[in-house]
Structure 1
């Protein structure tokens, strides 16, 4: 029986009260600090001040623990306040406002819990909060003018999910690399900028030169926003 359908164990007269929500919250704290590689049932038990075997009353193993953690993040996505729209944005159709809000809340959650991107697309997300976010997203996309039937809806959901997962993985990977190497964008430009300039000056890469020299250099949030708009334009 999936963890979502199993009843919580009966409360025990113990110094440390437990529940699946308490266990998931502690696991998230560990993963936020140490990543998924630093998360184990034994370390989690130490964090909670209980014996490891006691946790198995609540979760069958690491896989179910990850399911609980993922669904707790989706609970944040479902209940977070929508982000403020850019000052230049005009009125949007209701379906698009909903998708934009969910996508931006997903990005915020991923930046708060970097391990979350490691599980996007790698395992089914079927907890109640995961399903609620998925339902809200699919129901909104179903109202887009370019979505005429179920095949269109499946393609729209797939395209949106692929964009969000790919964009967030790239952004988080860049953050991790910067932390691990101490080399940010400015240091990279200092080290490789002269080489790139020499290569572009050969004239063999005119389109890349236009992108590098004349293109807008957006920060991560603006890049996500602009590219998300492009995806939704295509769906519309």
Structure 2
């Protein structure tokens, strides 16, 4: 039986329920990352005894599952999409926005799918937008491909944000600090392709990079969806 199927204990004088527990856990994670989350710390934030929480949530893994599903409510579409491409694009951008609000979510993206109601609703809306456009296996691979791009791009962006906080240097400041070493290496002539990339490559922000890469992936998906069925 999953945490969503198990009934909550009867109410007690001090109000407590899974929604309040999850909200407290999300707030802790937003402030200090996943390391800041434990049943004991959540209980302290709610001014409740730790043992009371075990009537609602058995393990930290269950708590993380509930947190992930809670944030998936922010990824749900607000209305029907304008076609499959709009559905996949919208889900990708909403996922990125949710992660930038809840950075810890980047550490829990990917892997086995969440079975919570919000996550299942997100998946249902995505699959429904592609239903009947191609054989089911093609549709599933298309969704998985876009999801893999989104997960990888978001994790890369979050890694950059964390590096900036750890070093105290912005991306531009880090580039300036690394400049002498980079110029020394490129001056050897051993890395001509890298030198062209450094000197001539466009410097784009994370949002533009994410959007551009996403459209390229969607173009590839479109090519597969347009192929006639075997």
2:37 — aligned with what? 39
1:28 — aligned with what? 26
Instruction: From the superposition, tell whether residues 54 and 171 of structure 1 become closer, same or farther in structure 2 (CA, over 3 Å).
Output: same
Aligned partners of 2:194, 2:119: CA distance in 1, in Å?
40
Aligned partners of 1:43, 1:229: CA distance in 2, in Å?
42
> Normalising by structure 2, what TM-score?
0.89
Unaligned ranges ≥5, structure 1: 83-91
> What SS is found at the alignment partner of 1:49?
coil
> What SS is found at the alignment partner of 1:167?
helix
- The Cα shift of 1:211 comes to 2.3
1:86 — aligned with what? none
> What SS is found at the alignment partner of 2:110?
coil
> What SS is found at the alignment partner of 1:78?
coil
Cα-to-partner distance string for 1:191-225 (whole Å, 9 max, x where unaligned)? 22132233334443333233222222110111100
Cα-to-partner distance string for 1:98-129 (whole Å, 9 max, x where unaligned)? 21111101001001111101111244311010
1:193 to 179, 185, 188: 179
**Are residues 1:158 and 2:144 paired?**
yes
Number of residues of Structure 1 aligned to a counterpart in Structure 2 = 222
RMSD: 2.1
- The Cα shift of 1:6 comes to 1.6
> What are the equivalent positions in structure 2 for 1:110-189 lying under 5 Å apart?
110-142=99-131, 148-189=134-175
> Normalising by structure 1, what TM-score?
0.87
Aligned partners of 1:80, 1:47: CA distance in 2, in Å?
32
Aligned partners of 1:7, 1:79: CA distance in 2, in Å?
28
Unaligned ranges ≥5, structure 2: 223-230
Instruction: From the superposition, tell whether residues 183 and 81 of structure 1 become closer, same or farther in structure 2 (CA, over 3 Å).
Output: farther
Aligned partners of 1:38, 1:151: CA distance in 2, in Å?
40
Aligned partners of 1:81, 1:52: CA distance in 2, in Å?
40
**Are residues 1:18 and 2:19 paired?**
no
Whether the 8 Å CA contact 2:77–2:91 is kept in 1: the answer is: no
Aligned partners of 1:200, 1:150: CA distance in 2, in Å?
49
**Are residues 1:107 and 2:96 paired?**
yes
2:51 to 46, 50, 53: 53
> What SS is found at the alignment partner of 2:2?
coil
Whether the 8 Å CA contact 1:45–1:55 is kept in 2: the answer is: yes
